[in-house]
Amino acid sequence: MKLNKDVCVIGGGIMGLMTAYYLCKRGRSVVILEKSEIGSGASGACDDMILLQSKKPGIALTLAMESLEMFPGLCDELGGDLGFETRGGMILIEDEKQLRVMESFVGEQRKYGLKVDILDRAAMRKKQPHVADYMLASTYSATDSQVDPLRLMRALLRSATKKGMEIFRGAPVVSIERLGDHWAVAARDDLMVECDFVVVAAGAWSRQVGELIGVNIPIIPLKGQLAITEQIAPIGETNVWSAMYIAAKLDPTIMPERSEYDKKIGLSFSFTQTSTGNYLIGSTREHAGYDKSTAFEAIQKIMNQVRGFFPVMDSVNVIRTIAGFRPASEDGSPIVGPIDQRPGIFVAAGHEGDGVALAPVTGKAVADMVCGKGDRLRFDPLNLRRFA
Ligand SMILES: Cc1cc2nc3c(=O)[nH]c(=O)nc-3n(C[C@H](O)[C@H](O)[C@H](O)COP(=O)(O)OP(=O)(O)OC[C@H]3O[C@@H](n4cnc5c(N)ncnc54)[C@H](O)[C@@H]3O)c2cc1C
C-alpha cells in the first residue's frame, strides 16, 4: 500500500501521539507507523508523574512548568477523565547532609518560579502520618501533578483519528529514503508513506531509526522496574520521592555506601498512587539492553526500601511488576527539533524519566516547527547538533 501524507510520525508512544495530535489540529495529514502496539514502549510501562521538583533549574524546569500549565486545557479538549490530578509531592530528607543539599536545590528552583518549601519533621508528619520516625524533613510542592499515560494516549488517539490521522500497528519502519523533494518511509514490505516531513518519536529505539538515515541519535534504553500494589486508601497526602537519590546527583559524596547490586540496577525511589488507588513503587535505572523482564531481587529491594520509609506498607500486597525503557540521551536531556543534515526530519525523543510530563510542550513545539511556526531558537539547546 502507498500513502501520501504531509507528515509521517515514527512511534506510537506518548511523544508520537502528542506530536501527531498537534499536527492534526493544525490541519496536517498525518500517519503514525508503530512497530508493535500503541503504548507498547516506555509510555505503557511507567509512572504517571508530572513532577517538577526533580527538575534541574534551567530549561528542564522551565519546560516542565510550561507543560504542566498545558495539561488542564489539553484534558478539557480531549474530554473524559484522564486521571489528571494535582496532589502535590514531597521529597523525603533523612539527614542533615541531604537537608543542606536540598535547601540549596530548592533555593535555585524558587528563582525559576517553582513554589516549593522545606517542611520540618512536624509539618512533614501532618502530610505523611505514616512516614518512618527517623525521617528528618521533606520538601513540599503543591504543584506536582499526575496524569494516567494510558488514558491520555487513548484520548489522543481517539481525537487525532477523528481529525483524520491514520495509524498502522505492527509496522516497523525499515527504510527512509529521499525521493526528489520528499521522503519515502517504508514499513514492512507492503507499506510505503511518501511525505514532506518525518518525526522520529521512537523512544529508546530512536538510535536505530537514525541509522536508517545515516544520523547518530545518541539514545539508549535505561530500564526501569516498578512494583504495583493492590488498591488501597491513600496513606499520605502527596506522592513521595527520596532526597538520597536527587541530592546525590548534585553532591555524590552524600550517597551512603551501597551494595554492588544496588549500584548495578541503579536503585532509586518513587512512591506514587494512581487515581485508581494502586501504588506504583519504583524504581531502577539499568543498562540492560532491551530485556523487559523484571527480577525478583530488584523488586524485593524496591519493596524493602518503601517499607523502610513507610512501615505500614509491610502489609500491602504487590499484584504486578512491570519494566519499561526510558529513552536516555547521552547528556540526559531530550533531543527535540530538526536534523540539520536531513531537511524535513525532526526528532522528538530522549525524554528519559520525564516523557509523560514533557509530552505536551514537546509535541506542540515539534508540530509548530514542522509547520514553520513557533520559536525554534528556544529549543536550540535541545537540538541534536549539540552532540556533533
Ligand atoms: C519505570 C518508569 C517510570 C517512569 N515514570 C515517569 C513519570 O512518572 N513521569 C514522566 O514524565 N515520565 C516517566 N517515565 C518516562 C516516560 O515513560 C518516557 O519518557 C516516555 O514514555 C517516552 O515516550 P516516547 O513516546 O518517547 O517513547 P515510547 O513510549 O517508548 O514510544 C516509542 C514507540 O516507538 C516505537 N518504535 C520504535 N522503533 C520503531 C520503528 N522502527 N518503527 C515504528 N515504531 C517504532 C516503539 O514500539 C514505541 O511504541 C518513566 C519511565 C519508566 C520506564
Which residues, other chains included, contact 381 with Cβ-Cβ below 8 Å and sequence gap of 6+?
59, 333
Question: Over 90: is that where the pLDDT of 38 sits?
Answer: yes
250 against 360, higher pLDDT: 360
Expressed in angstroms and rounded, the spacing between residue 133 Cα and the centre of ligand 1 is: 37
In the block, residue with C-alpha cell 541509522: 211
Q: What is the pLDDT of residue 31?
A: 98
Query: Which residue type sits at 303?
Result: M
Question: Over 90: is that where the pLDDT of 133 sits?
Answer: yes
Cα four-point dihedral sign 152, 154, 159, 160: positive
Expressed in angstroms and rounded, the spacing between residue 239 Cα and the centre of ligand 1 is: 22
Which residues, other chains included, contact 307 with Cβ-Cβ below 8 Å and sequence gap of 6+?
313, 314
Q: What percent of the chain has pLDDT over 90?
A: 91
pLDDT, mean of residues 359-383: 94
Which residues, other chains included, contact 264 with Cβ-Cβ below 8 Å and sequence gap of 6+?
286
The protein residue with its alpha carbon nearest to ligand 1, atom 26, reads 203
Q: Mutate which of 18, 43, 275 to test ligand 1's pocket (most atoms within 8 Å of Cβ)?
A: 43
- Determine the Cα–Cα distance for residues 269 and 224; give it in Å rounded to an integer: 11
Question: Over 80: is that where the pLDDT of 189 sits?
Answer: no
Q: Mutate which of 31, 32, 47, 223 to test ligand 1's pocket (most atoms within 8 Å of Cβ)?
A: 47
Measured from the Cα of 356, ligand 1's closest atom is 11
Expressed in angstroms and rounded, the spacing between residue 181 Cα and the centre of ligand 1 is: 31
Expressed in angstroms and rounded, the spacing between residue 153 Cα and the centre of ligand 1 is: 11
Measured from the Cα of 324, ligand 1's closest atom is 53
Cell of 180: 526528489
Q: What is the pLDDT of residue 251?
A: 80
The protein residue with its alpha carbon nearest to ligand 1, atom 53, reads 324
Expressed in angstroms and rounded, the spacing between residue 349 Cα and the centre of ligand 1 is: 9
The protein residue with its alpha carbon nearest to ligand 1, atom 15, reads 353
Q: What is the pLDDT of residue 296?
A: 97
Expressed in angstroms and rounded, the spacing between residue 326 Cα and the centre of ligand 1 is: 6
Question: Quick count: other Cβ atoms within 10 Å of Cβ 122?
Answer: 8
Give me the residue spans of the domains in the chain.
2-45+150-218+331-387, 89-142+220-328
- Taking only the tens place, the pLDDT of each residue in 283-297 is 999 999 999 999 999
The protein residue with its alpha carbon nearest to ligand 1, atom 12, reads 354
- For 132-155, letters b (16+ CB in 10 Å) and e give eeebebbbbbebbbbbbbbbbbbb
Q: What is the pLDDT of residue 187?
A: 96
Expressed in angstroms and rounded, the spacing between residue 205 Cα and the centre of ligand 1 is: 9
Mean residue pLDDT of the chain comes to 96
Q: What is the pLDDT of residue 257?
A: 87
pTM greater than 0.95? yes
- Determine the Cα–Cα distance for residues 210 and 347; give it in Å rounded to an integer: 9
Question: Over 90: is that where the pLDDT of 56 sits?
Answer: no
- Mapping DSSP to helix (H, G, I), strand (E, B) and coil, where does residue 329 land? strand
Q: What is the pLDDT of residue 204?
A: 98
Tell me yes or no: is domain 89-142+220-328 CATH 2.40.50.140.
Answer: no
- Taking only the tens place, the pLDDT of each residue in 172-183 is 999 999 999 999
Cα four-point dihedral sign 313, 316, 318, 319: negative
Burial class (CB within 10 angstroms; exposed 0-12, middle 13-18, buried 19+) of 304: exposed
Expressed in angstroms and rounded, the spacing between residue 154 Cα and the centre of ligand 1 is: 15
Measured from the Cα of 322, ligand 1's closest atom is 1
Question: Over 90: is that where the pLDDT of 374 sits?
Answer: no
Expressed in angstroms and rounded, the spacing between residue 186 Cα and the centre of ligand 1 is: 22
The protein residue with its alpha carbon nearest to ligand 1, atom 3, reads 46
Which residues, other chains included, contact 345 with Cβ-Cβ below 8 Å and sequence gap of 6+?
176, 183, 197, 198, 199, 200, 213, 215, 338, 339
Q: Residue 380's pLDDT band (boundaries 50, 70, 90)?
A: very high
Question: Over 80: is that where the pLDDT of 249 sits?
Answer: no
Expressed in angstroms and rounded, the spacing between residue 100 Cα and the centre of ligand 1 is: 34
The ligand 1 site (C-beta within 6 Å) comprises: 10-16, 33-36, 40-43, 45-49, 172-173, 201-205, 209, 224, 226, 282-283, 324, 326-327, 349, 351-357
Q: Mutate which of 356, 358, 361, 382 to test ligand 1's pocket (most atoms within 8 Å of Cβ)?
A: 356
- Determine the Cα–Cα distance for residues 145 and 322; give it in Å rounded to an integer: 22
Expressed in angstroms and rounded, the spacing between residue 122 Cα and the centre of ligand 1 is: 39
CA contacts within 13 A on the Cβ side of 286:
25
pLDDT, mean of residues 15-39: 98
Q: Residue 306's pLDDT band (boundaries 50, 70, 90)?
A: very high
Which residues, other chains included, contact 340 with Cβ-Cβ below 8 Å and sequence gap of 6+?
383, 384, 385
- Taking only the tens place, the pLDDT of each residue in 193-217 is 999 999 999 999 999 999 999 999 9
The protein residue with its alpha carbon nearest to ligand 1, atom 31, reads 13
pLDDT, mean of residues 95-104: 94
Looking at CATH, the fold of the domain delimited by 2-45+150-218+331-387 is given as FAD/NAD(P)-binding domain (3.50.50)
Q: What is the pLDDT of residue 242?
A: 95
